[in-house]
C-alpha cells in the first residue's frame, strides 16, 4: 500500500470505512482465523502483544489420582468457605433471636463475650478458605506456563512528532512574541490563584491576641477545688500526698491548662525545699502547688514518687524535683513546672494569690515574651 | 455492523455474541487482549505492594461503614449506653458514638477492630514493600517517579493513622492530640500561628475532632486514591522489574500472563488479606477505648504509646536531650522541635531523594529493569540496614518505659541506653552489613570457581584426602569453573542442582509411583541417576585432569 491510500481523511469526501481498528486484519483473513485452533489464536494474539509462551507444564492428567486429589482439596476448601460464611450469618442474625443476646453485660462471660470473636473467626476462616482455595486451584490444577514479554524503549518517532505538535501550538499562539499577553497571564494566574486560596484565611487566628496561650483561669482569690468540686483546707491532705486541683470557675475542671498539683511535703522535704528565684513565698507552709501540664509536650505529669520527691511525666519521662521548685532533673523537659502562689481565704480554704507568673505548658517560639 | 455477524469464525454462543456486540460498540478487545496477555514476574516479594493495596481496600470499605455511626463532634454529652462502668459519665459526642458503635451496634466492635488492624497492616505492608524496592534497587531509573509517589503515599498513610486514632477522643487519643499540639507549637516563628490555624485557638478547643475527621475520611483518602491510581498506571506502563535469571534480560519480563494464573493468585491474595484482617479484628482486641475513658486534660495513663508506625517519633522525643536553644530577644527553639519535626522531615526527605543521591554518587544514569541482589550492592544495602536500625532503635526507645517496667530496669538507664544506642548502633550495623555482603559475594564466587561441596571425601593415591567438588559448568585446565557471576542466586547444595530426586508427592501416603518419578526425572536429565553419571564424567576429575578443584589450592601437583 502506498502512503496515499492510508492517509487519514483521504477518501475525497466519500463516506467509506477506513481500515479496521487495532489488529492486523489485512494479514489474517476471517477464513484463515476460522481455520486456526483456539490455542493457536491465543498464541497469535499473545505474539501480537509481544508475549511468547515459552513453556507450558500441563496440569495434572485428567482422571489421574493427582487430579482427583487436587479437585477434592479445592472443592473442600470452597465448601468450607461457604459453610463458615453461612455460620457467620447464623451468628450475626441469630444472636438475640434463637441464640443468646450479643449485648455486653458486665457480669457475663458467655455468649456476648464470644460474639465479636466468633464473627471474626468465622469471617476470617471463610475468606481465608476462599483465598487458599484459589491459590490451590492455581497451583495444582491450572497449567503452569512461563511467558516472556518484550519490554520496549520509547520511540524516537513518537517523541519527535509529539514534540513538533506541542511546539507548533506554542509557536502559533505567538505567546513568545506577544509579551502583553504573557505578562497579563502571569498577573491573572497569580491573582486568581491567590483569590481562590483566600477563604482559607478563615482558619487564621492571631495567637497573641488576648494571650490565651499564656494565661489560665487562676487569679487572686480563686479557690482550689478537687475534681468533684470540693474546696481544700490545710490539714485535709496527708503529708507526702498529691492532689489534682482546678480553679473554682465554671468548667474549671475541664480546662486544658489549669490543672494543678497541690502537694503536701513531708517535714524532711520542707527542710530541703529550695524554691526557684522569685518564687520564695509561693508555698503555703508545707504546701506547694505546681502546674500539672508538662513543660515538654503538655501531657499531665502524674506520677509522684514521694521518696525521691520526683514527679514523672509518663509520656516522655521528664522528671521534676518538687523540693527544687519542680526543676527538671532528667529527660527531655527544659523548664520547671510553673508554680502557683498559694494563700488562704477568709473561710480557711486554699486560694490562688494570682495566675501563674509564667506561661504553663509546652515551650514555644515567643513564650518568654508573653 | 451486520457485516461482522456473518464472518466465518464469528461466535455462535450467546455469551460470545454478546461479547462481539459489546466490542462492536466499545472497541475494547485490543485493550482487553493486551491486558490479559500482560506478563507478571512470579516472585513472592512482588506481592508486598499488593497487600498494601488490598488493605487499603479493606480500610475504605470498613471505614465507610464506621462513618454511618460515628459523630465527629466535641459536644459534651452524658453516656447512657450499654457499657455500665461509664454510664452517667460526661464525655464528648465523638467518644460517646465510638462507645455506642462498640457496644450497641451489632458487629460494630468487630468492624472497628477490623479497621484498626487493617490500618496497621496497611502501613506495615507499605514499609516492607518500600524495603523490597530499596534493597533490590527497583527505584533506579526509570522508576524514580514511582519511588517518590511511594514515599509520599507512606507519609500520607502515617497522617491517615494519626488523624484516625485521634478521632475516638478517648484518653489515649487525647494524649496523642496534646502532643501533636505541642509539636505544632514547637515550630519556630510560625508555631503558635499554625497551632491556632489547626485547632482554631488554644488547645483543645471545639473543632479539632471535626477537622481531623474530614481530613481522615475525605482529604487524605482522595489524595491516596489518586496517587495509587497513578502509581499503578506508571507500573503498568513501565512494566515490572525482575530478578536476573535464565532468559531474563533488561528488555523482557518473564513470568505468568495476567489471565488466568496471575489474576487467580492475586484474587486469592485479596481474600487471604481480608481473611487475616477479619481474624485479627475478631479475635485480637485492639484499642479498647472503653478502658481508657473519656479524654481529660488532667489525666493520663502510664505506657501511653501511639500506634507502631509513629513509635519512632515517640522514641526520638524520649531520648532527645533537654536542649532548648535560646535566641536573643527572648525567642527560643524548643527541644521538642528537633526529635519530631526535624528528624521526621529529614528522614522522609532523605528517603524521597535517595534515588537521586545514589545516581549522583555512583554516576549510574542508565535504565535498569533487572533487580540487584542486596549483597551485590553492599554500600546501598549497608546504608539501608543502617537507616532501618536507626528507625527500629527509635521505635524500641518509644517503649522504654514498658521495657524498664517488664524487665525491672531503671527507666533513666533505659533512656541512656536509647541515647547511646542511637549513636553507636547504626554505624556498627553499617560495618557489619558491609562485611556480610562481601562475605556472601565471596562465597558465590568461590562456588562458581571451585564448585559445590559434595560431601564426598576421596583419598588420593599418595594418601591425601580431598573433598570432591561439583563444578557448575565448564572448567579450565586447573579445574576452575569458567562461569561468570550473573547477579542471580548461585546453587550452593547438590540438591539445588538435582543431586537428589525430588520428593514423592503425597502427605500421608504417596500419590505417585517412585519409579515413575525416577523415570520422569531421568528423562529430564536432572534426576539422581543423571546426577551420578555427571559426577563420574565431569567431577570425577582425578581421572581427567588430575584432581578435583578443592577451594584455594589449585596449584597442587597432579597425580
pLDDT band for B537, please (50, 70, 90 cuts): very low
Give me chain B's average pLDDT, please: 89
Instruction: Decide if A218 contacts A354 (C-beta within 8 A).
Output: yes
The lowest-confidence range among A244-258, B132-146, B493-507 is B493-507
Q: How far is B441 from chain A (nearest CA, A)?
A: 29
- Cα distances from A49 to residues A2, A42, A158, B249, B319, in angstroms, run 26, 11, 19, 18, 57
| Helices marked H in B136-169 | 144-165
Nearest Cα to A211, choosing from A361, A362, A359?
A359
List, for residues A143-159, the tens digit of each pLDDT value. Answer: 999 999 999 888 999 99
Instruction: Decide if B72 contacts B209 (C-beta within 8 A).
Output: yes
A327 touching B (Cβ < 8 Å): no
The lowest-confidence range among A17-21, A138-142, A280-284, B420-424 is A17-21
Contact A117 B304 (CB under 8 A): no
Q: How far is A344 from chain B (nearest CA, A)?
A: 24
Instruction: Decide if B234 contacts B17 (C-beta within 8 A).
Output: no
List, for residues A10-66, the tens digit of each pLDDT value. Answer: 656 677 777 788 888 888 888 888 899 999 999 999 999 999 999 898 888 898 888
Contacts of A49 in chain B (CB under 8 A): 33-34, 37-38
Contact A257 B297 (CB under 8 A): yes
Could you say which of B260, B276, B297 has the minimum Cβ distance to residue A124? B276
Classify B283 as helix, strand or coil: helix
- State mean pLDDT over B344-369: 95
On the question of pLDDT at B277 being above 90, the answer is: yes
- State mean pLDDT over B441-460: 92
On the question of pLDDT at B328 being above 80, the answer is: yes
pLDDT band for B555, please (50, 70, 90 cuts): very low
Q: How far is A178 from chain B (nearest CA, A)?
A: 35
Nearest CA in chain A to B114: A120
Q: How many other C-beta atoms are found inside a 10 Å radius of the C-beta of residue A9? A: 7
Stated as kind and residue range, the H or E segment containing B465 is strand B465-470
Could you say which of A142, A253, A312 has the minimum Cβ distance to residue B264? A142
A335 touching B (Cβ < 8 Å): yes
Question: Where would I find the beta strands (DSSP E) of B267-375?
Answer: 325-327, 331-333
List, for residues A84-134, the tens digit of each pLDDT value. Answer: 999 999 999 999 999 988 888 777 678 888 999 999 999 999 999 999 999
User: What is the C-alpha separation between A346 and A351, in angstroms, rounded?
Assistant: 10
Q: How many other C-beta atoms are found inside a 10 Å radius of the C-beta of residue B29? A: 17
Could you say which of B256, B280, B324 has the minimum Cβ distance to residue A145? B256
Nearest CA in chain B to A332: B322
Instruction: Decide if B235 contacts B146 (C-beta within 8 A).
Output: yes
- State mean pLDDT over B454-458: 89
Contact A121 B37 (CB under 8 A): no
Contacts of A104 in chain B (CB under 8 A): 82-83, 103
Contacts of B409 in chain A (CB under 8 A): none
On the question of pLDDT at B138 being above 80, the answer is: yes
Question: What are the φ/ψ torsions at residue A199 (nearest 5 degrees)?
Answer: -55, -20
Contact A134 B255 (CB under 8 A): no
A56 touching B (Cβ < 8 Å): no
On the question of pLDDT at B370 being above 80, the answer is: yes
Nearest CA in chain A to B204: A256
On the question of pLDDT at A211 being above 80, the answer is: no
How much is the pLDDT for B11?
82
- State mean pLDDT over A222-228: 92
A118 touching B (Cβ < 8 Å): yes
User: What is the C-alpha separation between A210 and A206, in angstroms, rounded?
Assistant: 9
**Interface test with chain A among B4, B39, B169, by most A beta carbons within 10 Å:** B39
How much is the pLDDT for A8?
66
List, for residues A269-306, the tens digit of each pLDDT value. Answer: 998 889 998 898 899 989 999 999 999 999 999 889 98
Instruction: Decide if B145 contacts B231 (C-beta within 8 A).
Output: no
Amino acid at each position: 500500500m502506498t502512503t496515499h491510500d492510508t492517509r487519514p481523511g483521504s477518501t475525497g469526501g466519500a463516506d467509506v470505512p477506513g481500515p479496521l481498528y487495532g489488529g492486523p486484519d489485512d494479514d489474517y483473513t476471517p477464513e484463515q482465523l476460522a481455520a486456526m485452533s483456539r490455542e493457536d489464536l491465543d498464541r497469535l494474539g499473545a505474539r501480537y502483544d509481544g508475549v511468547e509462551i515459552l513453556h507450558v507444564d500441563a496440569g495434572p492428567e485428567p482422571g489421574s489420582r493427582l487430579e482427583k486429589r487436587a479437585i477434592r482439596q479445592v472443592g473442600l476448601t470452597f465448601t468450607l468457605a461457604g459453610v463458615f460464611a453461612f455460620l457467620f450469618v447464623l451468628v450475626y442474625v441469630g444472636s438475640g433471636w434463637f441464640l443468646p443476646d450479643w449485648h455486653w453485660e458486665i457480669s457475663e462471660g458467655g455468649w456476648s463475650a464470644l460474639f465479636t470473636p466468633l464473627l471474626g473467626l468465622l469471617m476470617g476462616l471463610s475468606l481465608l478458605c476462599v483465598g487458599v482455595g484459589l491459590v490451590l486451584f492455581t497451583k495444582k490444577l491450572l497449567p503452569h506456563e512461563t511467558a516472556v514479554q518484550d519490554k520496549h524503549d520509547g520511540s524516537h518517532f513518537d517523541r519527535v512528532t509529539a514534540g513538533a505538535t506541542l511546539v507548533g501550538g506554542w509557536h502559533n499562539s505567538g505567546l513568545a512574541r506577544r509579551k502583553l499577553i504573557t505578562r497579563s497571564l502571569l498577573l491573572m494566574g497569580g491573582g486568581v490563584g491567590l483569590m481562590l486560596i483566600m477563604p482559607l484565611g478563615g482558619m487564621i487566628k492571631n495567637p497573641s491576641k488576648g494571650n490565651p496561650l499564656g494565661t489560665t483561669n487562676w487569679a487572686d482569690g480563686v479557690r482550689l477545688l478537687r475534681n468533684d468540686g470540693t474546696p481544700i483546707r490545710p490539714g485535709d491532705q496527708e503529708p507526702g500526698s498529691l492532689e489534682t486541683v482546678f480553679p473554682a470557675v465554671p468548667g474549671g475542671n475541664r480546662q486544658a491548662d489549669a490543672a494543678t498539683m497541690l502537694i503536701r511535703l513531708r517535714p524532711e522535704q520542707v527542710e530541703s525545699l529550695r524554691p526557684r528565684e522569685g518564687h520564695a513565698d509561693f508555698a503555703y507552709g508545707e504546701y506547694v502547688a505546681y502546674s500539672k501540664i508538662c513543660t515538654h509536650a503538655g501531657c499531665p505529669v502524674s506520677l509522684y514518687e514521694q521518696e525521691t520527691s520526683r514527679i514523672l511525666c509518663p509520656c516522655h519521662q521528664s522528671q521534676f524535683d518538687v523540693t527544687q521548685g519542680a526543676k527538671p532533673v532528667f529527660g527531655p523537659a527544659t523548664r520547671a513546672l510553673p508554680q502557683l502562689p498559694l494563700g488562704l481565704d477568709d473561710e480557711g480554704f486554699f486560694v490562688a494569690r494570682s495566675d501563674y507568673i509564667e506561661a504553663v505548658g509546652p515551650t514555644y517560639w515567643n513564650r518568654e515574651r508573653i | 455492523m451486520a457485516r461482522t455477524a456473518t464472518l466465518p469464525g464469528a461466535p455462535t454462543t450467546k455469551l460470545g455474541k454478546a461479547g462481539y456486540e459489546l466490542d462492536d460498540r466499545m472497541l475494547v478487545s485490543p485493550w482487553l487482549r493486551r491486558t490479559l496477555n500482560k506478563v507478571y514476574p512470579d516472585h513472592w516479594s512482588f506481592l508486598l505492594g499488593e497487600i498494601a493495596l488490598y488493605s487499603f481496600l479493606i480500610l475504605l470499605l470498613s471505614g465507610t461503614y464506621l462513618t454511618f455511626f460515628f459523630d465527629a463532634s466535641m459536644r459534651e454529652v452524658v453516656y447512657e449506653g450499654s457499657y455500665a462502668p461509664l454510664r452517667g459519665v460526661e464525655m464528648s459526642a465523638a467518644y460517646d458514638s465510638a462507645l455506642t458503635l462498640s457496644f450497641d451496634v451489632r458487629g460494630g466492635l468487630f468492624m472497628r477492630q477490623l479497621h484498626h488492624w487493617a490500618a496497621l497492616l496497611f502501613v506495615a505492608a507499605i514499609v516492607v514493600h518500600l524495603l523490597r524496592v530499596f534493597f533490590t534497587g527497583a527505584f533506579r531509573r526509570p522508576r524514580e517517579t514511582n519511588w517518590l509517589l511511594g514515599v509520599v503515599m507512606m507519609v500520607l498513610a502515617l497522617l491517615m493513622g494519626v488523624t484516625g486514632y485521634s478521632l475516638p477522643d478517648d484518653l489515649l487519643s487525647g494524649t496523642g492530640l496534646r502532643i501533636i499540639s505541642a509539636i505544632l507549637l514547637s515550630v519556630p516563628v510560625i508555631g503558635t500561628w499554625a497551632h491556632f490555624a489547626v485547632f482554631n485557638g488554644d488547645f483543645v478547643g471545639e473543632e479539632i475532632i471535626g477537622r481531623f475527621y474530614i481530613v481522615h475520611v475525605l482529604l487524605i483518602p482522595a489524595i491516596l486514591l489518586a496517587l495509587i491510581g497513578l502509581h499503578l498506571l506508571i507500573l503498568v506502563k513501565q512494566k515490572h522489574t525482575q530478578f536476573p535469571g535464565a532468559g531474563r534480560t533488561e528488555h523482557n519480563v518473564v513470568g505468568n500472563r495476567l489471565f488466568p494464573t496471575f489474576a487467580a493468585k492475586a484474587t486469592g491474595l485479596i481474600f487471604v488479606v481480608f481473611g487475616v484482617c477479619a481474624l485479627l479484628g475478631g479475635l485480637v482486641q485492639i484499642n479498647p477505648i472503653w478502658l481508657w475513658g473519656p479524654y481529660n486534660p488532667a489525666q493520663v495513663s502510664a505506657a501511653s504509646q501511639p500506634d507502631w508506625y509513629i513509635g519512632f517519633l515517640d522514641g526520638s522525643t524520649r531520648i532527645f536531650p533537654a536542649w532548648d536553644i535560646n535566641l536573643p530577644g527572648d525567642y527560643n527553639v524548643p527541644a521538642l522541635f528537633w526529635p519530631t519535626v526535624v528528624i521526621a522531615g529529614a528522614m522522609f526527605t532523605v528517603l524521597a531523594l535517595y534515588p537521586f543521591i545514589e545516581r549522583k554518587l555512583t554516576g549510574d544514569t542508565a535504565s535498569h529493569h533487572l533487580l540487584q541482589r542486596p549483597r551485590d550492592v553492599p554500600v546501598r544495602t549497608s546504608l539501608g540496614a543502617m537507616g532501618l536500625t536507626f528507625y527500629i532503635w527509635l521505635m524500641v526507645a518509644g517503649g522504654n518505659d514498658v521495657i524498664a517496667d517488664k524487665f525491672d530496669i531503671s527507666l533513666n538507664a533505659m533512656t541512656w541506653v536509647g541515647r547511646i544506642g542511637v549513636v553507636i548502633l547504626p554505624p556498627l550495623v553499617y560495618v557489619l552489613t558491609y562485611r556480610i555482603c562481601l562475605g556472601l559475594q565471596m562465597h558465590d564466587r568461590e562456588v562458581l570457581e571451585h564448585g559445590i561441596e559434595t560431601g564426598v571425601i576421596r583419598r588420593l593415591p599418595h594418601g591425601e584426602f580431598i573433598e570432591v567438588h561439583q563444578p557448575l559448568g565448564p572448567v579450565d585446565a586447573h579445574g576452575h569453573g569458567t562461569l561468570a557471576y550473573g547477579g542471580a542466586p548461585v546453587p550452593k547444595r547438590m540438591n539445588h542442582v538435582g543431586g537428589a530426586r525430588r520428593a514423592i508427592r503425597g502427605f500421608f501416603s504417596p500419590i505417585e509411583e517412585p519409579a515413575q518419578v525416577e523415570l520422569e526425572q531421568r528423562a529430564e536429565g536432572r534426576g539422581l541417576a543423571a546426577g551420578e553419571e555427571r559426577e563420574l564424567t565431569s567431577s570425577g576429575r582425578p581421572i581427567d585432569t588430575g584432581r578435583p578443584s578443592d577451594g584455594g589450592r589449585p596449584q597442587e601437583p597432579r597425580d
